[in-house]
Amino acid sequence: MRIRIVDAFTDRPFSGNPAGVLLLTGADTFPDGSWLQNVALEVNHAETAFAHPLPEGAEADWALRWFTPATEVAMCGHATLATAHVLHTTGIHEGPVRFATRSGVLVATPAADGSVTLDFPTAPLTRVDPPGGLAEALGTEPLTVLDTGPNVGDLLVEVADEKTVHALAPDLKALAAHSERGVIATARAEDPARGYDFVSRCFFPNVGIDEDPVTGSAHTALAPFWSERLGRPRLTGLQASARSGRVRTELRGDRTLLTGRAVTVIEGELLA
């Protein structure tokens, strides 16, 4: 089986968010979950995507699952983008591809310029009181705290400004107590002339990821939050991790479009 490492939400190698992609082209079902988990642990990136083709007439073209090194997750944007990129660039699938996932059918549409647009469910945001100890765990006082619903499973935390987001050095062990997956910290862009409207960082200690480089699923919550604040359905977010990456978002009611590029960096043979 061919296995690939793809950097997603970037047009340059060694930036964006790396994902493992394993296409089970000859299978009609997934292998045992423990094997999938072991492969994801061996790859040791934020997520590894596994996909197999579905028969003609099914609700989707491919079945898709995502695993961190520690657990299976309900939704992953960057590994979905990476999988669509591999399907498109190898010629295995042409045009829009429908993925059957734990979060429903997700569609990825390639464009002539090499970008891919993901059609994901918009996260339902519910304002909540800041949990006790959150400010101490994050290292700054939250301005607004929202629950992002079951698919995303994070707390979305607005902080004072972009400089605060860049400077965060949270207590990850303490942060793990406050949500199912982790915390999305965000602020308005200091200077939109730089090409982005808001900035974020994502900390997911509960799924074995201290800081995720670029998180598509988080932008299904960031898009409705900032679109309401800024009064525009189309925005660009900068995820200010060490690797960094940008996600273009478009809010369409209960769906959010996420657009980015991807680069295949490593391709090899899985022997196990």
- 116-138 per-residue burial string, b: 16 or more CB within 10 A, e: under 16: bbbbbbbbbbeeeebeeebeebb
Q: How far is CA 157 from the centre of its chain?
A: 17
Find the catalytic residue in 47, 158, 162, 211. Answer: 47
Q: Rounded distance, CA 214 to CA 7, Å?
A: 10
Tokens standing for residue 93? 């699938």
Closest CA to 102 of 131, 141, 73: 73
Rounded Cα gap, residues 89 and 168, in angstroms: 37
CA 68 – CA 196 distance, rounded (Å): 28
The pair of structure tokens assigned to 199 is: 């900035």
Residue that the structure tokens 């061996």 belong to: 42
Q: Which letter does DSSP use for residue 133 in this model?
A: T
152: its two tokens: 């995303």
Sign of CA dihedral 80, 81, 86, 91: positive
φ, ψ for residue 131 (rounded to 5)? Answer: -60, 150
Q: Would you call 136 a catalytic residue per the annotation?
A: no
Active-site positions?
A: 47
